[in-house]
Amino acid sequence: MQKQVLSLYRGFLRAARSKSPEDRHQVETIVSTEFRQNSKQVDRKNFIYIEYLLRRGKKQLEQLKSPDTVRLSSLNVSLSQTKNSEK
């Protein structure tokens, strides 16, 4: 499974090379941030969730490879924000 994660990461970096320099930097920043956050937050034994993230990542990678896609976006929602909105 580690090989799949690393392969996906390399795939994102390769796909970023086909974008403009500005967009490439933006893609690389989002991808590295997302992978680092998941590596810290996701339990390594939670295989079901890791497989879900791999499937989601593969779909996002296929979208990024499309010539029509120029950049990525990310949404950061912290747990404290969701708890505050529930009150």
Full domain range(s) for residue 19: 2-86
Are 64 and 27 in contact by the 8 Å Cβ rule? The answer is yes
Rg (C-alpha) for the chain, rounded Å, is 14
pLDDT, tens only, 5-54: 999 999 999 999 998 898 899 999 999 999 999 999 999 999 999 999 99
Q: How many domains does the chain have?
A: 1
pLDDT range class, residue 69, cuts 50, 70, 90: confident
Where does the pLDDT of residue 86 fall: very low under 50, low under 70, confident under 90, or very high at 90 and above? very low
Secondary structure E strands in the chain? none
| Predicted local distance difference test score (pLDDT) of residue 25 | 92
Asked if 31 and 9 touch (Cβ cutoff 8 Å), the reply is: yes
